[in-house]
Amino acid sequence: MAIDETLEHVWADVVTRNPGEPEFHQAVHEVLSSIAPVLAKHPELAENKTIERICEPERQIIFRVPWVDDAGEIRINRGFRVESNSALGPYKGGLRFHPSVNLGIVKFLGFEQTFKNALTQMPIGGGKGGSDFDPKGRSDSEVMRFCQSFMTELYRHIGEYTDVPAGDIGVGAREIGYLFGQYKRITNRYESGVLTGKGITWGGALVRTEATGYGAAYFAQQMLRARGTDVEGKTFVVSGSGNVALFAIEKIHQLGGTVVACSDSHGYVTDANGLNLDTLKDIKLVGRRRVSDYVESHPGAVHVSDGSIWDVPCDIAVPCATQNELTARNAAALIRNGVMAVVEGANMPATSSATSAFLEAGVAVAPGKAANAGGVATSALEMQQNASRDSWSFEYTEQRLEQIMSGIHAACYETAEEYGAPGNYVVGANIVGFLRVSQAMIAQGII
């Protein structure tokens, strides 16, 4: 996808001002390639330089996170919080703990989050944070000490009305618990709305755990219906085996689809009859083990440690692992095998050339900012419950999630059509998100 010449200067500026941040460049490039038609229709957006402003995060915080490991050795990690945009509400977005985390990755995620959160129509701005800390192989007490040190700096930047972090890769219920405990201890406030993804008994919301995966499955359902078909009887491949992947598999199965493969960083497992979710949950959620263990109890399944999961034929591909996991080569294999849709459960899992290849081949692509927005939308529902000191039933919350996902689908679909790119959800999502954020920014003045 190419950038219109009227926006080339914005692109050149972003590249020069943010050296060595390829993921951030990639995320910005995709948005810049989509928004020329909306700028032509709404000249006030260009006059107010809203895209230039969105490309510069409102605030970027980098801090030292020292902690002591179980052997008594001092460890030093780097912590980040990028507060991207607060036009629509307090900064909102997850924390990622993974060795790959650096400023460029957090900026790309915060940038994406701004558009994603706008798509949900909930009152949330965009932000993201994290650390290069690797929780893998660390004891619970090491994770606790790390989280306490991390929050000892982060607490001064966040708050119910300021910035509301949550989980992402490497940050789940355990980490949110330790982070919340330390925030409460430092501030002497039981401020439930400062973090989302909390435990159910202490301010958490039902469905939050399942929401990203469920939401992606609902989005897939909407896309297939828009093409005159349905999930029923379709074959899916879901990469990853974390929270997003597992609950995407659960909902796809509930909707009548069959997921034949999933993966982790050590390979993938295929089961032609459909993956058994109880086994997978037991391996990944209870045991924190590898998917290779799956074949022990399912002899008909196969584990492949040195191949690509995208070589497994499917009707719908659902990448739920991490950014740029699906390359042009993988896209070519999927297209050869007749894939009809790609639904991004992770943030930016397809490379730019993979996305272009899909679009050229007529494969529908749901970008992460639309398809995985169910997680953050349900975080906003958690904030709503916290604000009213209420808690809703699973059924009611799931119904809200389903409505939000079909609202996002409809907005992307209709906007793509309105701007001359029918069926192109990438363009639709970028235009809707950009318009909503820009209009609020203009109303609030030059800030």
- Active site residue ranges: 128
One of 57, 79, 89, 94 touching ligand GLU (CB under 6 A) = 94
Cα gap 181→152, rounded to integer Å: 11
One of 221, 330, 379, 438 touching ligand GLU (CB under 6 A) = 379
Q: Could you say which DSSP state residue 166 is in?
A: E
Q: Say whether residue 257 binds ligand GLU (CB under 6 A).
A: no
Shortest distance in whole angstroms from residue 94 CB to ligand GLU = 3
Size of the residue set binding ligand GLU (CB under 6 A): 10
Cα gap 280→302, rounded to integer Å: 14
Which residues in the 328-347 window bind ligand GLU by CB under 6 A? 347
Q: Determine the longest span between alpha carbons in the chain, in angstroms.
A: 63
Quickly tell me which residue has 């708050």 as its tokens.
Answer: 159
Q: Say whether residue 93 binds ligand GLU (CB under 6 A).
A: yes
Contact range with ligand GLU by CB under 6 A, out of 36-44, 51-59, 60-68, 375-383: 375-383
Burial degree of 232 (CB within 10 A; 0-12, 13-18, 19+): exposed
Shortest distance in whole angstroms from residue 395 CB to ligand GLU = 21
Q: Of 251, 212, 227, which Cα lies nearest the Cα of 362?
A: 227
Pairing between strand 267-270 and 258-264? antiparallel
Q: Say whether residue 27 binds ligand GLU (CB under 6 A).
A: no
Q: Would you give the distance in Å from CA 123 to the centre of its chain? A: 18
Each residue 385-414 as x (binds ligand GLU by CB under 6 A) or -, in order, gives ------------------------------
Shortest distance in whole angstroms from residue 405 CB to ligand GLU = 13
Contact range with ligand GLU by CB under 6 A, out of 26-34, 57-65, 86-94, 329-337: 86-94
Q: Say whether residue 198 binds ligand GLU (CB under 6 A).
A: no
Query: In terms of CB distance, is 28 or 166 closer to ligand GLU?
Result: 166
Shortest distance in whole angstroms from residue 321 CB to ligand GLU = 13
Cα gap 119→30, rounded to integer Å: 16
Let me know the angle formed at the C-alpha of 85 by 177 and 169, rounded to the nearest 5 degrees. 35
Task: Transcribe 359-402 into DSSP letters.
Answer: HHTT-EEE-HHHHTHHHHHHHHHHHHHHHTT----HHHHHHHHH
Task: Transcribe 85-149 into DSSP letters.
Answer: E-SSSSEEEEEEE-TT--HHHHHHHHHHHHHHHHHHTSS--EEEEEES---TT--HHHHHHHHHH
Let me know the angle formed at the C-alpha of 154 by 153 and 156, rounded to the nearest 5 degrees. 85
Q: Say whether residue 243 binds ligand GLU (CB under 6 A).
A: no
Asked if 238 contacts 245 with a C-beta cutoff of 8 angstroms, the reply is yes
Cα gap 301→352, rounded to integer Å: 33
Let me know the angle formed at the C-alpha of 411 by 408 and 414, rounded to the nearest 5 degrees. 145
Query: In terms of CB distance, is 95 or 252 closer to ligand GLU?
Result: 95
Cα gap 213→394, rounded to integer Å: 15
Each residue 168-197 as x (binds ligand GLU by CB under 6 A) or -, in order, gives x---------------------------x-
Cα gap 114→220, rounded to integer Å: 22
The dihedral built from the CA positions of residue 80, 439, 407 and 327, taken in this order, carries a sign that is negative
Q: Say whether residue 433 binds ligand GLU (CB under 6 A).
A: no
Contact range with ligand GLU by CB under 6 A, out of 78-86, 89-97, 312-320, 351-359: 89-97
Contact range with ligand GLU by CB under 6 A, out of 228-236, 313-321, 371-379, 384-392: 371-379
One of 166, 231, 269, 350 touching ligand GLU (CB under 6 A) = 166
One of 135, 375, 428, 433 touching ligand GLU (CB under 6 A) = 375
Shortest distance in whole angstroms from residue 286 CB to ligand GLU = 22
One of 376, 405, 429, 441 touching ligand GLU (CB under 6 A) = 376
One of 25, 92, 107, 251 touching ligand GLU (CB under 6 A) = 92
Q: Say whether residue 90 binds ligand GLU (CB under 6 A).
A: no
Contact range with ligand GLU by CB under 6 A, out of 82-90, 351-359, 372-380, 439-447: 372-380
Contact range with ligand GLU by CB under 6 A, out of 92-100, 142-150, 263-271, 394-402: 92-100
Query: In terms of CB distance, is 79 or 94 closer to ligand GLU?
Result: 94
Query: In terms of CB distance, is 347 or 439 closer to ligand GLU?
Result: 347
Query: In terms of CB distance, is 166 or 237 closer to ligand GLU?
Result: 166
Which amino acid, 432?
A: V
What residues make contact with ligand GLU under the rule CB under 6 A?
Answer: 92-94, 166, 168, 196, 347, 375-376, 379
